[in-house]
Amino acid sequence: MTNTMNIPMSSPDLNDDDRQAVINVINTPNLSMGKYTLAFEKSFCDYTGIKNTISVNSGTAGLHLCVRAAGISAGDLVITTPFSFVASSNALLFENAVPIFVDIDPRTGNINPELVAEAAKNIEKHLPKRMSKVDGRGSLKAILPVDVFGQPADMDAINAIAKEHGLKVIEDSCEALGATYKGRQAGTMGDYGVFAFYPNKQITTGEGGVIITNDDKDANFMRALRNQGRAPGDTWLQHTHLGYNYRIDEMSAAMGASQMSRLDSILSKREQVAAWYEARLSEIPGVEVPYIEPFTTRMSWFVYVIRFDKKINRDEMAKKLEARGIPVRPYFLPIHLQPYMIEKFGYQEGDFPVTEDLGKRGLAIPFSGVMTEAQVDYVCNIIREELKK
- The residues binding ligand PLP (CB under 6 A) are 58-60, 84-85, 87-88, 146, 172, 174-175, 196, 198, 209
* Strand-pair partners of 288: 307
Alpha-carbon span 188 to 282, nearest angstrom: 33
> Residue 54 or residue 196: which is nearer to ligand PLP going by CB?
196
| Residue (of 287, 274, 270) closest to 363 by Cα position | 287
Alpha-carbon span 386 to 210, nearest angstrom: 41
Per DSSP (E only), the strands in the chain are 52-56, 77-80, 98-101, 140-144, 168-172, 180-181, 184-185, 192-196, 209-213, 287-288, 296-298, 304-308, 329-330, 362-365
DSSP class of 261: T
Alpha-carbon span 208 to 204, nearest angstrom: 8
> Residue 257 or residue 380: which is nearer to ligand PLP going by CB?
257
Alpha-carbon span 10 to 12, nearest angstrom: 7
Least Å distance between CB 108 and ligand PLP? 14
> Residue 192 or residue 198: which is nearer to ligand PLP going by CB?
198
Least Å distance between CB 286 and ligand PLP? 27
Least Å distance between CB 21 and ligand PLP? 20
Least Å distance between CB 290 and ligand PLP? 15
Q: Angle 186-190-191 (CA atoms, 0-180°, nearest 5)?
A: 135
* Strand-pair partners of 307: 288, 362
Least Å distance between CB 59 and ligand PLP? 3
> Residue 75 or residue 209: which is nearer to ligand PLP going by CB?
209
> Residue 59 or residue 178: which is nearer to ligand PLP going by CB?
59
The 3-state DSSP class for residue 54 equals: strand
Least Å distance between CB 175 and ligand PLP? 4
Closest residue to bound ligand PLP by CB:
59
> Residue 209 or residue 290: which is nearer to ligand PLP going by CB?
209
> Residue 87 or residue 186: which is nearer to ligand PLP going by CB?
87
Least Å distance between CB 47 and ligand PLP? 18
Least Å distance between CB 99 and ligand PLP? 13
User: Sheet of 140-144: strands edge to edge?
Assistant: 52-56, 209-213, 192-196, 168-172, 140-144, 77-80, 98-101
> Residue 75 or residue 187: which is nearer to ligand PLP going by CB?
187
Q: Angle 89-81-167 (CA atoms, 0-180°, nearest 5)?
A: 80
